[in-house]
Structure 1
Amino acid sequence: MAVPDIWARTNHSPSENSFNQSNPFCEMSHIKILAKTFLPIFFWILFFVGAIGNALVILVYWRYRGKKSPTDTYLIHLAIADLLFIFTLPFWAAAAWDGWNFKTVMCKIVNSMYKTNFYSCMLFLMCVSFDRYVVVVWPMQAQNSKLKRLMRHKLICFGVWVIAVALCIPEVMYSQTEQIGNTTVCRMIYPPSVSRTLRIIDLSMKIAIGFLFPLLVMVVCYARVAHTLLQARKTPKHKSLKMIIIIILVFVLSQFPYNSILLVKTMVLYAPAIKDCKMLENIATGFQLTQSIAFLHSCLNPFLYVFAGERFRKALFQMMKCMTQGPMKSPEQCNSADASQGQNSRRSSALFGRSKLGTSLALSSP
């Protein structure tokens, strides 16, 4: 996924403009209108919805930090990555409206934050699917090695962040501000020493790591999970299977159109002589629309993976109840009060899911 990108001569600049060779005389008036009217409002809506949803996930986890499971580790890191990505949207909303009015260092920081958290989001989604595969398909082994899994998951989370940070190095090196007409833009500006081949590799990695590889792992893992649930006896399975289908569909519908446009961009790099302004404008329009759809995923993650779980809803309601009872109580006081209501037995399971086979998915509904 790329940061907001409208290419040549627009009010909103790209961070990874691989079309430096595009016809500089293409005004792309429709893209200017789209950038100034639709994108600022859309980005601000995503910011508020995504910030509230992911902040609630982190808040509940913090107040009930003694009840985390290996799956919870991935979900919290996913919420953090989504939240950090969401925090870049106000900058792009302002840039879409009136150009980039921040310093070059902020251009590098915002681009790098976006890239880092996008890659980490996709990789954490992949990790969640693999963890659900282990828990459902191999429940006894997962239960017996729970402590080892928790430690292993922490190392994996660290590795995911390292990979994501490493992949944003081009943004740190090549993100710059540039004056185009009366507008200052923030985008990736490759020096002549960077060959077209390296740019193609960069775009190809976005498609492979940001979509194809996570999608492959998710489909394989959730297919095995669904097969196991269908084979299990006396196990509620319809809601879990429904959520599996929803998760895969949302991921594909939100990411596939965008990555298809990225593939077109990669192909255009092999044909730098293209001067058809109409074609470039159509690609740019498709890029903006599909990218906006792809951004929705960071807002939907809390609802798909967390809020749909019975355990999380109960923890959230209990936290809200505790916060409204006079002075703010500590997590320990809330936990103690909740235990007095006879809920200790249910608390032995993960915060975002239950341990029984049919409801072991962190995203399962009650």
Structure 2
Amino acid sequence: MSNPPLDMAIYNESYDDYYSDIDDLSQLCHLEEAFAFGVILSSTLYLLALLFSIVGNSLVLWILVKHENLKLLTNIFILNLAASDLIFTFSLPFWASYHLAEWLFGEILCKTMTAIFLIGFYSGIIFITIMTVHRYFIIVKPLSTLKSKETRYGILVCVIIWGVSILASLPELLSTEVKPQNQGEHVTYICDHKSDFWRDVATYQQNVFFLISLAVAVYCYFHILKALLKSKTQVKKRTVKLIFTIVIVFLLSWAPYNIVIFMKSLKVVTFANCERIRHLNYAFYVCRKIAFSHCFLNPIFYAFVGVKFRRHLIKLCCSQF
């Protein structure tokens, strides 16, 4: 997932090397409608995602802290995942404003919002992967778990995950800057990578993280499902159902986006036809909005799949009315 700069800026920057003698590639391929579509869709859905994510993930944090046992690894990971979704969410108003105009917030906030965005993404994907692995050990290899040390291990694992997420965001953070871009007689400012090389590095790094998460999820749930076919424990099945739903929603949200950004990184080597480029840009806008909406989907599935969460939520609502 690339740094979320202005969509038109991404497109023009990506193809400058191939069309250096053309002032405006968007006019060449008549992409104005696609750009307008992306601006409207982005600004609207980012603000909706902001609202639903803050409300939903705040409820998750409140219920976990007030009603759940935070010494359990599963709850520790869910709490950190909700925090990760909130961190990701806090960057959305800046990107929504960016899509409507230009980058108005200076280079420090450009780098800061890029960092917040990326740390939220990387921590989210790692926490979901760790939750899957944890559930694998509990069900497939229960004798390997050390429950007396769960809290200590949980805190240590979370610290490591946040550290890895920060380190993973550094290359893209350091390669992001505010730079001017000519648009006719006007000069606008974009928050973007220094070069196509760094944009591609960021794309491939995010692809690798996603593919590793996908491989781990497939391996773990294959063995988990095999073990559950031999088990009659309903509690285990309910917990696995919740974690499985979270993982599947994450993968379905981010898989199309990772495919599209990889295809965009190939540039006109593969997509030299204007019609293909236009379709790819529409796909990019739609898939990115699906991916970004993930930050508020987890609380919804907690409510529908998580029995205890739904019970606490109903109790909270009844006490307010």
**TM-score, normalised with respect to structure 1:** 0.74
Match of 1:32 in 2: 35
Three-state SS of the structure 2 residue aligned to 1:100 is coil
In 2, the alpha carbon distance for the partners of 1:43 and 1:103 equals 21
The code of the aligned residue for 2:4 comes to P
- The residue correspondences of 1:64-79 to structure 2 (distance < 5 A) are 64=67, 67-79=70-82
Match of 2:292 in 1: 295
- The residue correspondences of 1:1-366 to structure 2 (distance < 5 A) are 1-5=1-5, 7=7, 10=8, 13-14=9-10, 21=17, 23=19, 25-27=24-26, 28-64=31-67, 67-142=70-145, 145-180=146-181, 181=183, 182=186, 184-190=188-194, 196=197, 199-209=199-209, 211-233=210-232, 235=234, 246-268=245-267, 271=269, 276-305=273-302, 308-319=305-316, 324=320
Deviations 1:184-206 (A, max 9, x none): 34332325xxx84x654432111
Three-state SS of the structure 2 residue aligned to 1:38 is helix
Match of 1:356 in 2: none
Does structure 2 conserve the Cα–Cα contact (< 8 Å) formed by 1:171 and 1:188?
no
In 2, the alpha carbon distance for the partners of 1:62 and 1:238 equals 24
Does structure 2 conserve the Cα–Cα contact (< 8 Å) formed by 1:51 and 1:86?
yes
- Seen in structure 2, the aligned counterparts of structure 1 residues 235 and 82 have a Cα distance that, compared at 3 Å, is closer
Does structure 2 conserve the Cα–Cα contact (< 8 Å) formed by 1:54 and 1:302?
yes
- Seen in structure 2, the aligned counterparts of structure 1 residues 98 and 267 have a Cα distance that, compared at 3 Å, is closer
Three-state SS of the structure 1 residue aligned to 2:25 is coil
Q: CA deviation at 1:292?
A: 0.8
Does structure 1 conserve the Cα–Cα contact (< 8 Å) formed by 2:6 and 2:98?
no
In 2, the alpha carbon distance for the partners of 1:245 and 1:60 equals 21
Does structure 2 conserve the Cα–Cα contact (< 8 Å) formed by 1:230 and 1:237?
no
Three-state SS of the structure 1 residue aligned to 2:229 is helix
In 1, the alpha carbon distance for the partners of 2:44 and 2:187 equals 20
- Seen in structure 2, the aligned counterparts of structure 1 residues 116 and 238 have a Cα distance that, compared at 3 Å, is closer
Three-state SS of the structure 2 residue aligned to 1:40 is helix
- Seen in structure 2, the aligned counterparts of structure 1 residues 160 and 248 have a Cα distance that, compared at 3 Å, is closer
- Seen in structure 2, the aligned counterparts of structure 1 residues 146 and 187 have a Cα distance that, compared at 3 Å, is same
Percent pairwise identity: 25
In 2, the alpha carbon distance for the partners of 1:214 and 1:305 equals 21
Does structure 1 conserve the Cα–Cα contact (< 8 Å) formed by 2:72 and 2:150?
no
The code of the aligned residue for 1:104 comes to E
Does structure 1 conserve the Cα–Cα contact (< 8 Å) formed by 2:71 and 2:150?
no
Q: CA deviation at 1:77?
A: 0.8
Does structure 2 conserve the Cα–Cα contact (< 8 Å) formed by 1:247 and 1:304?
yes
Does structure 1 conserve the Cα–Cα contact (< 8 Å) formed by 2:43 and 2:99?
yes
Three-state SS of the structure 1 residue aligned to 2:261 is helix
The code of the aligned residue for 1:25 comes to D
- Seen in structure 2, the aligned counterparts of structure 1 residues 140 and 259 have a Cα distance that, compared at 3 Å, is same
> How many residue pairs were aligned?
310
Deviations 1:268-319 (A, max 9, x none): 38x49x7654443332222111111111222112233566212223334445
- Tell me whether 42-51 or 304-313 shows the greater mean CA deviation: 304-313
Segments of 5+ residues of structure 1 without an aligned counterpart are 326-366
The code of the aligned residue for 2:72 comes to S
- Seen in structure 2, the aligned counterparts of structure 1 residues 234 and 257 have a Cα distance that, compared at 3 Å, is closer
User: RMSD of the TM alignment (CA)?
Assistant: 3.0
Q: CA deviation at 1:67?
A: 4.4
Larger radius of gyration between Structure 1 and Structure 2: 1
Match of 1:328 in 2: none
Three-state SS of the structure 1 residue aligned to 2:104 is coil
Segments of 5+ residues of structure 2 without an aligned counterpart are none
